Structure 1
Amino acid sequence: MASVPALLPGAVTAQQDDVQAAPRQPSLVFEPRVSVQHTITSNARLDSTSVSDQITEVIPGFQLISNTARVKGFVDYSLHDVYYARESRFNSIRHNLNASAVVEAVEQWAFVDVAAVVASQPISAFGAPVGGLPANPNTSQTSSFRVSPYLRGRIGAAVDYEARYSVQDTRTKTDSRSDITTQDWLLHLGRRESGRIVGWALDASNQVADYSLGRSIETTALRARVSFAVTSQLVLTGIGGTESTNQLSPTRESHRITGFGAAWQPSERSRLSFERESRYFGESHNASLEHRTGRTVWRYTDIKAISNGLGAQSASLGSLFDLLDGFYTQLEPDPIRRTQLVLAEIERLGLPANVQVFQDFLRSSSTLQRVQQLSLALLGQRSTVTLAISRSDNRSIGGPLQLGDDFDTNSRIRQRGWNLWLAHRLTPNSSIHASWGDQRSVGTLPGLETRVRSLVLGWNTLVARRTSAGIQIRRVLSDGPASPYSESAIVGTITHRF
């Protein structure tokens, strides 16, 4: 993901007057940048050979943020030109792209959602984590592009409708994992207006997921929802329907859908939602909880569903950015200025915007996946503490097919881990930060377990109005039969924004 870090919140009270007094920001912002990064590492390949090297990266890029009447979204792109001092065979050019936008083609009726992600991802759950070293054998550049045109409107005065088509193409440079193309159709009818006690919705959907190394999987579903507003803060929902799929067998089979849900929002700062369904593979659920106070942001999610491998490729400026963007909404309602405010403080602190404990690994078939994530940000006057805890459980549902991924030898892969980030602002223009993390991956193959522990210490400073510099020291230890290694590294970076 894009490396765009987290807002040191001590600025909330100090900056409030400046924000309120500032003139309205333009609806379109374009900012080019260039970075030079030099790494001295004791283990350039992240394996047991421990070959040391020096790596220089020249990283030009830009960020575009649009908040016009017809186009709302962002593009963040960087090109990494990598040079190795000793092993030039690892020299490479890599791309990082995050883009997401909504285009209003016809006012209040026709829209197009577009999204694109290009990033490095881990090939196996048991290899070295993706950490910015191109020589890492467990890294593959993966690209995902999605286009979704849709119509949205109202029939008469009673029924809202949405008709949507989307296509998403995901490709990876490694031959050992599938490319995936999915096509989705959706027709939604319903009514749930504010102030009404009873609402209803009817959704008809069809998805075809085509795996280059596997087979095509098609799922068609019809769902009906009836919601009842117990109070203005609490809404209960009943779910029923049917679906047909060839996910579990070569031929399509039909199954019933039953379920329920609830949404509770006691205040603007707190909301809780839960939905559970009985489906062809068993029970699925989607739960989320978010709470904000004057100095904290809490978020918890628990999702169990079929994963087609596309969940790792979602466009965002970073999960820590998403976490804090909601917090700063109360300070700055203008989305352009709020984004600039958050990103500027994030860069000054040197914290990672993407606080994922581990990235989803590549695979060549659908899996039954449960992911639980807890994130917390404590925002002090000069210090920030961020904690992320994650646990995932992936189960193979592809049967005896041998597709070349981790599930050829494991019917179940579990991952759990945590990361703690600390940042302290020394002066208005400089800060220090530290991160400590632990990640474990366990398979069903006897003895197949990997544990990776990491410690990073860093310092960042603004050397000129639009130029920043930083230095990091990191230590990584990996245990287990799959990829035992250790690494010590020093990383220096200087960035100029035009």
Structure 2
Amino acid sequence: MLLLPLHSHGQFQTPLGVAQGQLPQFRAAPPNTPANEPIGGWRILPRLNVVETFSDNVRLQPEALQRSDFVTQINPGLVVTGVGTRYSVNIDYTMNNLIYANLSNFNRIRHQLNAMGTAELIKDFFFVDGRAVMTQQNATLFGAQGVNNINVTGNRQNVNIYNISPYIRYRFQDIATTELRYTRNMVSSSSNALFNSQADAYQASLNSGTAFSTVQWGFNYSHQAVHYERTNRTVEFERSIGNLRYMVTPRFGLTATGGYERNTFLSIRGSPSSPTWTVGFIWEPSQRTSIAFNAGQRFYGDTYSAVATHRTRMTVWDLNYDENITTFNQQAGMSGGFNIGNSLAQLMAAQNPSMSPEAIQQSAQALLGLGLQGSFFDPNNFFSNRLFLQKRLQASVAMNGIRNTFILRGFDMRRKAFSPEGVDSGLIGAGNAALLNNTRQTGVNALWSYRLSQLTRANIDLTYTRFAFLAVDRVDNLGLARVSLVRQLPQLLPNMIGMLEVRHNMRQSNQPGLSYHENAVVGTLSMSF
């Protein structure tokens, strides 16, 4: 079986394994290791990491109120993977134990879970997908933005997401393919003022098969009903769409969609139902490059979407723009979306074809995350009970060489509320509700990772984020700078990794009393068994 190196905060960390053609070779477990021996495609990997952090402003307060503290994290975890001919399961759990030397009343346990699985119950016909997530995040944009769980800000909340989705797929020879899917999704949080939700979604699609190479067609229907607890509110989203694609050449096609969408939420910006249409094109000038663009009309006005990717031997480029009417609960329940980690993983897989997909994905995520959470690398899906129009642009480039890995990514996300602000008064206070009427998050992140030796890697990470509350006169600028040194320690344990990090975290606001800065030193030991 594979024994994988660890991430410093409950995720995998592969400090040396991102060079082109030089991902780390994971050692095989001894054949008589009962705890780890794979049985029928199942693997179990216990792990532990210990993190010691000194912060000179652990509560992220203004300078006159800041307090320092030593924070110890003892994080046992477990990864369970199972792969068979008709199933796949991946469970990643960490118990995040936080112990404060001075502020001992803030000692706590946080649970972190990322589990997903799929099963083929009837061959080539009936399938079931499932997902469960337990995580923590910064709840609001205007509160202090914690780097991770050690910051005691009052702005960190637990979020739990569960969904199950049975579906059937059928192919009518080469004429058409169809899929019928039901999804049950539940989203809850530790905030009493954020309404938990249960959603029932139905989807049906019929799309042309390979017999239609020049003119391709499809029909798609979706209906989602979201019920919010402690309210009498159920919101429905229904869309019936037909689509056409005309392939002018084998690599260039014109696209068009048309249909009707019906939404039942109370809108402050006109009727939420109307006909909808788009026109656009797809272009794949080569196997390494693809571009898709669409423009059209929805009930809120003009709408656009774009996706572009380009890959070379050592780089991968991505651009994505989308817009939609959505909610916090819907965004939290999404299984993915645009993610630079996926692009980097694709590049690393092309450079290292002999490595398993799991090892590739873990190596990519180790470089990108490095144990941090919050509004630093991606827009914050902040808590809100309202519906809003979200317009999101993200772009990235990743370069991976023998010794150097460089990642540059940026985002711009705007949210404009489409439902009354009163539903958020209990969540953020009536005086703050106007802050969320119209928001914009803009950010850029640069990461450079350099392999000093076979056992040692140095990382430099710089991030800038800007929160603009467009309905009021408030702008917050956030900055994060980190330098870390990561070393594998085989002389102590075959799968032990040490990390030393220094970082600076700051916020500057144009409103008085909201700026802060924090300096921290972090030491980590991670091991697997």
Q: Contact 2:139/2:383 (CA < 8 Å) preserved in 1?
A: yes
SS in 2 for 1:409: helix
1:487 paired residue number? 518
Shift of 1:382: 0.7
User: Of 128, 140, 145, which aligns to 1:124?
Assistant: 140
Q: Does 1:111 align with 2:127?
A: yes
| Contact 1:6–1:342 (8 Å) recurs in 2 | no
Contact 1:417/1:440 (8 A) holds in 2: yes
Residue among 408, 424, 447 paired with 2:433: 408
Match of 1:439 among 455, 465, 485: 465
Q: Distance in 2 between matches of 1:348 and 1:325?
A: 11
- Aligned residue type for 1:11: A
- Residue by residue over 1:252-280, the C-alpha shift from the partner in whole angstroms, topping out at 9 and shown as x without a partner, is 86411111232222222211122334112
Sort the Cα spacing of 1:400 and 1:92 in 2 relative to 1 into closer, same or farther, 3 A.
closer
Judge conservation of contact 1:202–1:223 (CA < 8 Å) in 2. Answer: yes
In the alignment, does 2:41 pair up with 1:41?
no
CA distance in 2, matches of 1:448, 1:207: 35
Letter matched to residue 170 of structure 2: G
Show structure 2 runs of 5+ residues with no match.
Answer: 1-8, 27-37
**1:166 aligned residue:** 183
- Alignment partner, residue 342 of structure 2: 322
1:234 CA displacement: 1.9
> 1:258–1:221: structure 2 CA closer, same or farther, 3 Å change rule?
same
Greater Cα shift, 407-416 or 47-56: 407-416
Greater CA deviation, 468-477 or 114-123? 114-123
34-43 or 210-219, which deviates more: 210-219
Whole-Å separation in 2 of the counterparts to 1:345 and 1:91: 32
Structure 1 residues 247 and 281 mapped into 2: Cα distance closer, same or farther (>3 Å)? Answer: farther
Amino acid paired to 1:458:
S
Q: Secondary structure of 1:401's match?
A: helix
Which amino acid counterpart does residue 103 of structure 2 have in structure 1? E
Maintained 8 Å contact 1:98/1:316: no
Matches within 5 A, 1:13-52: 13-14=21-22, 27-48=41-62, 49-52=65-68
Residue 238 (structure 2) aligns with: 220
1:474 to 477, 485, 503: 503
| CA 1:157–1:391: 2 relative to 1, 3 Å | closer
Q: Which amino acid aligns with 1:281?
A: Y
Cα distance in structure 1, aligned partners of 2:389 and 2:272? 18
Residue identity in the other structure for 2:241: R
1:71 corresponding residue in structure 2: 87
Question: Distance in 1 between the 2:108 and 2:308 partners?
Answer: 42
* Superposed displacement of residue 429, structure 1: 0.6
Structure 2 distance, partners of 1:255, 1:239, is 14
Question: Shift of residue 57 of structure 1?
Answer: 0.8
Cα distance change on mapping 1:164 and 1:119 into 2, 3 Å: same
Taking structure 1 as reference, are residues 327 and 2 closer, same or farther at Cα in structure 2, changes over 3 Å only?
farther
CA contact (8 A) 1:349 1:430 kept: no
Query: Within 1, Cα distance between the matches of 2:151 and 2:22?
Result: 41
- Say which SS state the counterpart of residue 324 (structure 1) adopts: helix
Q: Name the SS of the counterpart of 1:235 in structure 2.
A: strand
Gap change, CA 1:313 and 1:79, over 3 Å in 2: farther
Alignment of 1:91-490 (within 5 A): 91-132=107-148, 133-155=150-172, 158-193=175-210, 196-212=213-229, 215-249=233-267, 254-309=273-328, 310-315=330-335, 319-333=339-353, 337-344=356-363, 347=366, 351=370, 356-404=377-425, 405=427, 408-410=433-435, 411-464=437-490, 465-480=494-509, 481=511, 483-490=514-521
Q: For 1:15 and 1:240, locate their aligned partners in 2 and report how far apart those are by CA, in whole Å.
A: 47
Structure 1 CA distance for aligned equivalents of residues 135 and 18 of structure 2: 32
For 1:10 and 1:69, the matched residues in 2 are separated by 29
How much does 1:248 deviate?
A: 4.2
Q: Is the 8 A contact 2:452 2:458 kept in 1?
A: yes
Give the Cα separation in 1 of the matches to 2:447 and 2:109.
30
Q: What is aligned with 1:22?
A: none
Q: Which digits, 9 at most, give the CA deviation of each residue in 1:387-421, with x for residues without a partner?
A: 11111100000035342356721320111011111
CA distance in 2, matches of 1:312, 1:447: 28
Q: How far did residue 463 of structure 1 move?
A: 0.8
Query: Which stretch has the larger CA shift, 377-386 or 155-164?
Result: 155-164
Deviation at 1:350, TM superposition (A): 8.2
Contact 1:50 1:486 in 2 (8 A): no
Whether the 8 Å CA contact 1:62–1:76 is kept in 2: the answer is yes
**Cα deviation digits, residues 55-114 of structure 1 (max 9, x gap):** 111111122344421123522221101111111221111111222322111111001111
Alpha-carbon distance in structure 2 between the residues aligned to 1:253 and 1:486? 43
Fraction of identical pairs, as percent? 23
- Report the CA distance between 1:134 and its aligned residue: 5.0
Distance 2:332 2:499 in 1: 29
**Structure 1 alignment gaps of length 5 or more:** 20-24
The aligned residue for residue 3 of structure 2 is none
**In 2: Cα distance, 1:77 partner to 1:314 partner:** 19
Q: TM-score, normalised by structure 1?
A: 0.90
Aligned alpha-carbon RMSD (Å): 2.9
Deviations 1:312-366 (A, max 9, x none): 45446994431222113324557x7132145357658984698834432121121
Q: CA deviation at 1:129?
A: 2.2
8 Å CA contact 2:341, 2:368 repeated in 1: no
**Please, which moves more after superposition, 178-187 or 292-301?**
178-187
**TM-score when scaled to structure 2?**
0.85
The range that moved more, 366-375 or 400-409, is: 400-409
**2:254–2:282 CA contact under 8 A, matched in 1:** yes
Quick one: which amino acid aligns to residue 496 of structure 1? M
**Shift in alpha-carbon separation, 1:474–1:419, aligned structure 2, 3 A:** same
Measured after TM superposition, the shift of residue 281 of structure 1 is 1.9
Identify which range, 384-393 or 114-123, moves more after superposition.
114-123
- Matched residues in 2 for 1:311 and 1:31: separation? 31
Contact 1:100 1:115 in 2 (8 A): yes
Structure 2 SS opposite 1:11: coil
Query: Larger deviation: 486-495 or 123-132?
Result: 123-132
Alpha-carbon contact 2:241-2:259 (below 8 Å) kept: yes
The answer as to whether partners of 2:349 and 2:357 remain within 8 angstroms in 1 is yes
**1:323/1:137 Cα in 2 relative to 1: closer, same or farther (>3 Å)?**
same
Matched length: 491
The 1-side partners of 2:61 and 2:371 are apart by: 25
Distance (Å, rounded) in 2 between the aligned partners of 1:228 and 1:2: 48
